[in-house]
Amino acid sequence: MSNFKNGKGGVYASLLGVCGLLAGAQGQAQEHSWVDLAIHNFGEPINTMWAEGELSFAADGTMVFCSAREDMAVAPGDPKDLYIATFNETTGTWNSPVNMGLPINAAPATDVDPMRRGDDREPWITADGNTIYFKSDRLASSSPRNATDLFVTHKVNGEWTEPEMLGYPISTNEGNEHCPAILQDGKTLCFASMRAGGYGGSDIWCSSPDADGNWMEPVNQGPNINTAAEEFHFTQDTNGMVYFTSNREGGLGGMDLWGSMQQGVNSWGPAVNLGPRVNTDANDMCPALPPGGETFSWFSNRQDNSLGNIDIFWTQKVNVGE
């Protein structure tokens, strides 16, 4: 993987460029060019006139994300589908995204239950590119009211398997589980849920497999992470810092991105707002970490650099926390 070159989306500079230091990390202050300090729209072919959002990356740069684009949806009226785009080292940008199709994306089934709208989103891909966790309403029910559950699919012999629901205690009838991700230990699954025992709204919970590979009872990640507001989309870097979305007090408006350093198993330091270069008075949400550890990505409905709707952005990590 080399760099972003000028393409039809206007995305440029280096994906693995000048290393920035997270605020508070060791090292001395350094000079940065305007390119280093800029907030970049991913541009075409990733962003479109429709809404693009929740994304993650495999180690080779493959990106999975969701989009509300209507020209490639698996079925008319489908709210969002999962898309996958491979990184092209020759051009320095991403190849045209491909709708992951059936059965990864479910078509609306409102004739079965009005809550089954075909809404598939929030994909998290493993570093090897062979497993994707995501949320879906394909098994939603009106009674008991259960809007979304978590699912997993695996790539076997080049083909993605039929998604399987992550059953209880991960998916529940009360929690509307969403935003799955695996921590840097490679085994701990974190996700958001509105289940009983939380602090209010969606809280972040984490679970690890037992010796037989079964998910253990999820643990609420505590008051440094969760509040009476909304918290979701836990993403951890190799330094142990976790990034997530919240509309807690102390933000810059709407949803903001926050960070917290891991102190131990299910233990985190005080959350810190990632600052005005990343957060705006709009909704800035769902952090993702491109390969290499030097850049930071998220999606936003900010209007200062938009292709017409919710877009995906990236910046050098030096801007995170400042």
For the chain, give the number of residues.
322
What are the chain's domains?
A: 60-292 (2.120.10)
Who wins on pLDDT, 304 or 101?
A: 101
- How far is residue 115 from each of residues 58, 145, 148, measured CA to CA in Å? 31, 9, 9
What tens digit of pLDDT does each residue of 181-227 get? Answer: 999 999 999 999 999 999 999 999 999 999 999 999 999 999 999 99
Whole-angstrom distance, CA of residue 135 vs CA of residue 149: 6
Quickly count: other Cβ atoms within 10 Å of residue 155's Cβ.
Answer: 15
- Structure confidence at residue 14 (pLDDT): 31
Q: Is the pTM of this model over 0.85?
A: yes
What tens digit of pLDDT does each residue of 266-297 get? Answer: 999 999 999 999 999 999 999 999 999 999 99
What tens digit of pLDDT does each residue of 150-170 get? Answer: 999 999 999 999 999 999 999
